[in-house]
Structures are given as structure tokens and as C-alpha cells.
Amino acid sequence: MEATADAAAAPVLDQAEIEAAEAALALLESRESLAITEPVEQTPLDLKAPELYINQELSHLQFNVRVLEQSLDPSYPLLERLMFLLIFSSNLDEFFEIRVAEQLRQLKYGREAVGPDAMHPQKMLERISEICEINVTRQYKILNETIFPEMAQQGIRFVRRGDWNKAQRAWVKEWFEQNVVPVISPIGLDPSHPFPRLVNKSLNFIVQLDGKDAFGRETGLAIIPAPRSLPRLVRLPDELCEGGDNLIFLSSMIHEFAEDLFPGMKIEGCYQFRITRNADLTFDFEEIEDLARTLKGELHSRKYGDAVRLEIDNRTPEQYIHFLQQEFTISDSQVYRVDGPVNLTRLMAVRDLVERADLRWKPFSPGIPNKLKDEKTVFESLSASEQLLLHPWQSFSPVVDLLRQAAKDPKVLAIKQTLYRTGVKSDIVNALVEAARNGKEVTVVIELRARFDEESNLNLASRLQEAGCLVVYGVVGYKCHAKLMLIVRQEGTRLVRYCHLGTGNYHSGTARLYTDYSFMTADQEMGEDVHKVFQQLTGMGKIQRLKKLYNAPFTLHAKMLEMIQREAKNARAGKPARIIVKVNGLTEPRLIRSLYEASQAGVQVDLIIRGTCRLRPGIEGISDNIRVVSIVGRFLEHTRVYYFENADHKPDVFCASADWMERNMLHRVETGFQLSGKHAERIKRELDYYLRDNTHSWVLASDGSYTLSQPAEDEEPFSAQQQLLNDYAS
């Protein structure tokens, strides 16, 4: 999730540098004012009209609601349903930290900006508040009335303090005294102890006190910040319980023993709350001299940005809610009264505290193509044939193996790699470190501004530099989101390039959870193109012409417009015409207008958009031929695939790192690559799976609402993700 500020801050390229790309766009731009409907006497429809576009932030919020709905799916294991409910909280945190914060920032500084839907930020915030209020209330209702009772039936209990027996209470008190009291710092509020500066998303308590302390002070209020180093869930010893898994909230302990923190005082009330702050990082790129140093200086401020949301126990007296509102300068619409723990994301610790495989997803073994099993090295396999992998159903290990073998192979001279989200101690990073220590020329392009991974990426850069890698940070103002690996190997008298291109990150963990394509090839023209992209990232120079790759911000956007317009032309000529696009988000106005034009021309357009979608399908005369679905299931849909029918010729099929959003197409470094033959046929088959899905597919209506697909009476249930599991995994 990226802030709109990124786009606004991006520097403008010199006109000479983008001449080639602009020429490709000029013809398409000139056609935007022309009607493509028949007959020509009709008045052209205004495809820029605000009513044709869904608000981007509200659409993004609707995706989070679809995630919440998964917690009610009876076909999912119980603990996985709990995880979906908690992921909703995690997603909503980021939504407020970045997206809501940006709208509030615009209002604060009088810099209101509207998108193609023309919704003013104030109106947008009102709608966000309404939707969040309804769905946060639903979330706690699901938790308290469905998930917790079903977990209790399975022997997993969250033991309330009113239900502790004598032995349990004694154990909890001892745990509290040994683990909480030494690190907790209660703060009485008086002139010498002003309201503390509370960390973003931390658990806190506002306490009503009665009595005077040792100094004769009688303030009546105190704040207890819960130590962030402590777990939010503690498991009771089995010998103190009658079977099952018995867990206690840290908040329950603090509630029960709060008086121990204020000796001689009486607790009249203790209420938990949590504040969410603006966590976006903004830069004046013209003032930056050292990106890494600037970023290090900004990271600390993320914890203490402007307050954007207050979550508080719904039993809290209104006077204390108003007091906190004044302290944090937030309005009534930013307050969420909740019926349960305010920091639900920390409940994810249940996965480590409860060993119940029967309540989790059934494990599977990702498949590996026979060619990659049989050959002695990945180099030999790729020399014989290129490989396309679909994670997580097919293993990510061949990608790691390619890099590991390159690190050890004396014939390998150089390795170039982009890293957006990974881990400091990941297998990929370990292989790069080993390669550098073995004398290879290792160049790594690290995107320091991968949101919420900035600190990790700074540490990663330090580790790679210490190992002898050449580390660069891409292009200031343009996030490097491309997924590229290039290996140069001496084979006889020639240098051979081996490449990996992907739709996802070089992260073994997410490769088990996210759906992504990996393409590995020894095609030399592709290798030459990847080499040129790395030259653009690490050096300086004019735009270079690529033979097999399309890259943003230069040619990818123009190529997609060209492909859409070609399908529209074919449809008007009475030829077969179809477009299928599978991405995480569709927001870029020019692409949307082009899709509207294609629909008007008669092109069948199927859009598989996981998250944000500004396009309105099903509008008579404009988008009648467009269908939009969102797949939400066990795995996070993350592949970016573009399919164009191409009439009497072979279809054009592309994979890419880019969504169809402004930031990806116009303000980031991205790559798209074309696939043909068996790979293109395979991708088409897998896209058809998603379009057949009638169990986890949500259909977008023209009013912006989504409806879950259901099998017809004579139709068998079909899940795309389950079918792919059957096809590739074991």
C-alpha cells in the first residue's frame, strides 16, 4: 500500500529522456476525444465523468471487508478463520496509518486533491468512518459470538479474570509481579507529569484513581502504557486447568492488579485504549543528499505521527473519551468503541501457543517440475528449457537454488539482483553474501522505501555491503519494484546470461502464502534486456530500447494501451476480441478509459482484481462487456498477468511486477515480460480457473458493492486455488 504523496513527489524526467515513450502515447491520447461507438452521429460519451469511477480508498476498504467475511466461512478451519479476522485488524491499521492519514493531512494543510471520482477528502473520510464503524462492530460481534464460543468448544479458552479459580489467580499474580511490575511505568497525570507521548498502536490504560499519594497529590487520573516487550497472551500451566488450551490476556492481568501499581490508592475504573498515528514517511527529494541517512532519521518519527484513530473499551465513561480526544486532537468520527481487546493483531500469538493441526490448513508439499529435479544444476535445466513456476503451489526453492549454485560456481562472474521485501537472514541474502565472499561481482538494488520494511532493508544493505556487495538504492523518486535476477556465467568462450523475473518478492516466507509467477530463462535477448535495466538503475543514461521487456515508467503503460486499443479495433472489425487482466489493483484513469472504449467496441473484458478497483462494470453503453471479480481465499492473490486475444494470431500474454495503478505505471521502476507457447497456454488455463471460481469469487457491481458467487443448482462448487493445489502440489 503506497501513499499518494509518493506520486506527487516524483521528479519530472527531462523531455528528451522520455521522448520515445511519449511518442507512443501521443497517438493514443489524440484518440481519447473521439467516439468509438456506432453510429458516428451519436454524441460521444464523456469517459472522464466522475460517476464512472469508484473512489480508490473506499474500494480498498471494501477489500478489507471481504477479508473479514472469510472469518465466517464454515469451509475454513477454525484457527484460520480467526486469522482472517485478525488480518482484517492488521489491514485496517495500515489503512488508517497511510490512507486515512493522507486525507487528514490534505485537509490540515488545505491541499485537498480529488481523484477521477471527484470525491472531496472530507466526504471520503465521512464514508470511511461509516463503513469502519459498521464493520469493526461486526468484527467484535463475530469474535465474541462466533469465534470464541467455537474455540471454547474445541478446548481453546480465553479465561476471563472473573473465571480464575484460586490457584490460577495466585499463579497469575506471581507472573504479574515477576514479569510485568519490573518493566511497567504507570504515570500519574499532574502538572509535573503531563500526558505521556504514547507510541503508535501501543496498548494503554486510562485509570481513574481515588485517594492521595505519598506526596499528597490527588489528580484522579493516570495512564498505564503496557510494556511492548511483553506478550499479549499468556498460557496458563496445564496442571492448573481441566484440559485444553487456556490463555489469559495481558490486559486482564493489568486490569486485575492495577491497584498494585498505585499503593494506597483505590482504582475506580481502568479502561484500555490504543491510538493509531500517521506512519507515512515523506521526503523532499530535492533536499536529499543521502537517502539511507535521511531514512534513518525519519523512521523514529513514524512512532509519533499525528493521531488518526482512537480505539477504546466501550465501557469507558464519556468524560474520559472526551479527555483523550482533546489530548490527541481527534474528532468523534475518529473514535471506535470496541467490545473486547483493542489490540487484536497481537492475538496472532495463538498460532504459537496452541498446537492444533486439526484446526489449521492441511499442509501440502509444493511441486517441482521434473526438469528441475532431473538435471544436475539449474543452469543445465535452463539451458535445455525455460521454466515457469507458480507459487505457492510450486516450490520457490529452484529460484533459491539458482542463486546458491551461482554463488559457488567458479564459472559465474557476476550476479545482479533487485530486492524490495526480503529478510536480512533470508536464503537469498545468504547466497548473495556467499557469492561476494567467493569473489563474484555482486550488485544489489535495494528499495529502501518499501513501506514498513525500511528498517529491515537498511540493515540488509549494511550486511551486504560488509560482505563486499555493491549496493545501490535505485532512482530517487521512483521506487524500484521490479523483480529481477541476472547471473553472468562463463561457458567456453562466451558469456551466458541466466535470468529470473517474477511477479512477487524474493522472500521465501511470502512465497508460501502469496500467489506469484517465477520465470527462469537462459534466453540471451531477455538477458540483454535485464542487463540494460540494471544499467539504468545503477548508472545514468538515456532510455535504452528493449527487445523483450517492457519497463515502467517508460514503455509498459504505453504497451498496455496499445494492446487494449488493438483488441477494440479487432472487435469493431468483427474479429474475436478478449482481454483478461489479473492484478492487485486497477486505478490508472487512462487504462480505465481505454477499457471502457474496448467494452463499447464489443470486447469481452474479464478483470480479476484482488483489491482496489476504480472501474465501474456493467454500465449500459459503457462497460456492459466488462466483468470484475475478486478472489479471496487461503492464499493472497498477488500475480500480475495480462492476456490479449489478438484475433487470428497467437494471444499476447504478459507477466509483470506492476499493477494497473498510477504509482506502478508512471512512478515506479517495473518490468513486464511476454510469454509464449506452452507458458502462454498454461497461464490462460489458470486464468480460466479464476473466472470459473464459484466459491471464493466476489463479483463487483456498478454501485461498488461486491457479492459472493454461489454455485448454481446444477453446478459443482469450484475453487481456483484448490484446483491449482490439485494440479501442482502434493
CATH number at residue 468: 3.30.870.10
Does position 358 have pLDDT exceeding 90, yes or no? Answer: yes
User: What are the φ/ψ torsions at residue 475 (nearest 5 degrees)?
Assistant: -115, 125
Query: Distance (Å, rounded) from C-alpha 722 to C-alpha 123?
Result: 41
Selected residue with higher pLDDT from 215 and 679: 679
Query: Are residue 175 and residue 266 in the same domain, yes or no?
Result: yes
Query: Are residue 346 and residue 383 in the same domain, yes or no?
Result: no
> Is 186 among the domain residues?
yes
Under 8 Å between Cβ of 236 and 253: no
End position of a domain, from candidates 355, 378, 404: 355
> Is 183 among the domain residues?
yes
Compute the Cα dihedral for 55, 571, 640, 665 and give only its sign.
negative
What is residue 509's predicted lDDT score, i.e. its pLDDT? 85
As given in the structure block, the three cell numbers for residue 244 are 485444553
Q: How many CA atoms lie within 13 A of 636 on its CB side?
A: 17
User: What are the φ/ψ torsions at residue 13 (nearest 5 degrees)?
Assistant: -70, 155
> Is 71 among the domain residues?
no
As given in the structure block, the three cell numbers for residue 439 are 569473489
Nearest to 729 by CA among 303, 368, 432: 368
Query: Are residue 340 and residue 380 in the same domain, yes or no?
Result: no
At 613, is the pLDDT very low, low, confident or very high (cuts 50, 70, 90)?
A: very high
What is residue 667's predicted lDDT score, i.e. its pLDDT? 92
What is residue 208's predicted lDDT score, i.e. its pLDDT? 92
Query: Are residue 399 and residue 501 in the same domain, yes or no?
Result: yes
Query: Are residue 503 and residue 464 in the same domain, yes or no?
Result: yes
Neighbouring-strand partners of residue 521: 499
Selected residue with higher pLDDT from 403 and 299: 403
Residue bearing cell 501440502: 364
Does position 304 have pLDDT exceeding 90, yes or no? Answer: no
- Helix-then-strand count for the chain, H and E: 23, 27
What is residue 265's predicted lDDT score, i.e. its pLDDT? 84
Neighbouring-strand partners of residue 549: 673
Q: Which of 126-135, 229-238, 442-451 shows the lowest per-residue confidence on average (mean pLDDT)?
A: 442-451
Residues 411-452 pLDDT 10s:
999 999 999 877 667 899 999 999 999 999 999 998 876 565
End position of a domain, from candidates 547, 569, 604: 547
Nearest to 222 by CA among 233, 234, 213: 213
Does position 160 have pLDDT exceeding 60, yes or no? Answer: yes
Q: How many CA atoms lie within 13 A of 386 on its CB side?
A: 21
> Is 91 among the domain residues?
no
Does position 216 have pLDDT exceeding 80, yes or no? Answer: no
> Is 214 among the domain residues?
yes
Binding site listing for Mg(2+) = 421, 451
Neighbouring-strand partners of residue 495: 490
Rounded to two decimals, what is the model's pTM?
0.89
> Is 726 among the domain residues?
no
> Is 393 among the domain residues?
yes
Query: Distance (Å, rounded) from C-alpha 555 to C-alpha 24?
Result: 8
Under 8 Å between Cβ of 383 and 466: no
What is residue 456's predicted lDDT score, i.e. its pLDDT? 73
Q: 3-state SS of 494-547?
A: EEEEEEEEECCCCCCCHHHCEEEEEEEECCHHHHHHHHHHHHHHHCCCCCCCCC
Query: Are residue 435 and residue 348 in the same domain, yes or no?
Result: no
Under 8 Å between Cβ of 59 and 241: no
Under 8 Å between Cβ of 420 and 447: yes
Angle between helices 720-728 and 677-692 (to 10 degrees): 140
Q: 3-state SS of 206-249?
A: EEEEECCCCCCCCCCEEEEECCCCCCCEEECCHHHCCCCEEEEE
User: What are the φ/ψ torsions at residue 236 (nearest 5 degrees)?
Assistant: -70, 140
Enzyme catalytic residues: 481
Domain that residue 538 falls in: 370-547
The terminus-to-terminus CA distance of the chain in angstroms comes to 33
Compute the Cα dihedral for 337, 340, 342, 344 and give only its sign.
negative
> Which element (helix H / strand E) includes 668?
strand 668-675
Query: Distance (Å, rounded) from C-alpha 378 to C-alpha 487?
Result: 12
End position of a domain, from candidates 513, 532, 547: 547
Residue bearing cell 506452452: 678
Kindly list the distances between the CA atom of residue 487 and the CA atoms of 50, 111, 270, 509, in Å, as whole numbers in the listed order. 48, 47, 60, 23
Query: Are residue 166 and residue 279 in the same domain, yes or no?
Result: yes
> Is 611 among the domain residues?
no
Query: Are residue 161 and residue 288 in the same domain, yes or no?
Result: yes
Q: Which of 103-112, 129-138, 379-388 shows the lowest per-residue confidence on average (mean pLDDT)?
A: 103-112
Does position 715 have pLDDT exceeding 50, yes or no? Answer: yes
As given in the structure block, the three cell numbers for residue 85 are 479476522
At 1, is the pLDDT very low, low, confident or very high (cuts 50, 70, 90)?
A: very low
What is the DSSP-derived secondary structure letter of residue 33?
T
Query: Are residue 323 and residue 395 in the same domain, yes or no?
Result: no
Structural domains of the chain, count? 2
Residues 511-529 pLDDT 10s:
999 999 999 999 999 999 9
Query: Distance (Å, rounded) from C-alpha 665 to C-alpha 670?
Result: 7
Query: Distance (Å, rounded) from C-alpha 245 to C-alpha 266?
Result: 34
Report the pLDDT averaged over residues 133-158.
Answer: 97
- Give the whole-number percent of the chain exceeding pLDDT 90: 74
Under 8 Å between Cβ of 44 and 34: yes
Average pLDDT of the residues of the chain: 88
Does position 477 have pLDDT exceeding 90, yes or no? Answer: no
- Give the whole-number percent of the chain exceeding pLDDT 70: 88
Query: Are residue 307 and residue 395 in the same domain, yes or no?
Result: no
Does position 169 have pLDDT exceeding 80, yes or no? Answer: yes
Task: List, as one string, the DSSP characters of 548-600.
Answer: SEEEETTTHHHHHHHHHHHHHHHHHTT---EEEEEES-B--HHHHHHHHHHHH
Selected residue with higher pLDDT from 36 and 183: 183
Q: Which of 109-113, 162-166, 546-550, 645-649 shows the lowest per-residue confidence on average (mean pLDDT)?
A: 109-113
Report the pLDDT averaged over residues 706-726.
Answer: 96
Query: Are residue 211 and residue 283 in the same domain, yes or no?
Result: yes
At 289, is the pLDDT very low, low, confident or very high (cuts 50, 70, 90)?
A: very low
Report the pLDDT averaged over residues 642-651.
Answer: 95
Query: Distance (Å, rounded) from C-alpha 231 to C-alpha 684?
Result: 47
Query: Are residue 340 and residue 387 in the same domain, yes or no?
Result: no
